[in-house]
Amino acid sequence: MTIPFVDVVTQWIRTTWTKQSRGGSAAARRNSAPIAFPIPADGLPLLHEVEMSEGDDFSPRFSARRELPDPARIALHQAGRLLSVELVPEPGTRPARWHRGSMVLLAPGQWLRWQINYRLTHLCDGAWSYRLDTLNLAYRPDPAVAFTGVPTRFLDERTRLA
């Protein structure tokens, strides 16, 4: 069943860094980066993306569009009055995640926070970079309080990145 266009608010936060931010004060700046932001007041965006990177000293860059997230990355299905949400790990990243819980059910008014991290290898020089994705997703939310407080569901797929 197709998800009604206005019923889902997605906030996708991507934080990227290199080995220069794996320790010391740079790691402290990275670790203090927010994992949720207010929803813009100019209407209810359905997809609010936030990018933060080491190169910009982890200052957030925002974009908002009235669309559902890419179904190849987040599978959404309605099951009666519940919403089934499945985060699909980024292809070609490490570590591989073979065994994982793959689905969350949300009732209207509920929201989830799903965190997953990756190590990426650059093709040109073989150097590694790292990324933390935080997915905040609300089903039929109150936009004034979306992503504040404690999420209804929290999935933590962060792992050690060698």
Q: State the Rg of the chain over Cα.
A: 16
Which range, of 71-80, 83-92, 112-121, 150-159, averages the lowest pLDDT?
A: 83-92
Structure tokens of 49?
């993306």
At 3 the pLDDT is 59
At 20 the pLDDT is 79
Nearby residues of 149 by Cβ (< 8 Å), 6 or more positions away:
none
Global pTM value:
0.88
What are 45-92's pLDDT values in tens digits?
Answer: 589 999 999 999 999 999 998 888 998 899 899 888 999 999 887 766
Most confident residue range from 5-9, 24-28, 107-111, 116-120: 107-111
Q: What is the 3-state secondary structure (H, E, C) of the chain?
A: CCCCCCCEEEEEEEEEECHHHCCHHHHHHHHCCCCCCCCCCCCCCCEEEEEEEHHHCCCCEEEEECCCCCCCCEEEEEECCEEEEEECCCCCCECCCCCCCCCEEECCCCEEEEEEEEEEECCCCCCEEEEEEEEEEEECCCCCCCCCCCCCEEEEECCCCC
Burial label, 71 (beta-carbon count in 10 A; 0-12, 13-18, 19+): exposed
At 15 the pLDDT is 94
At 126 the pLDDT is 66
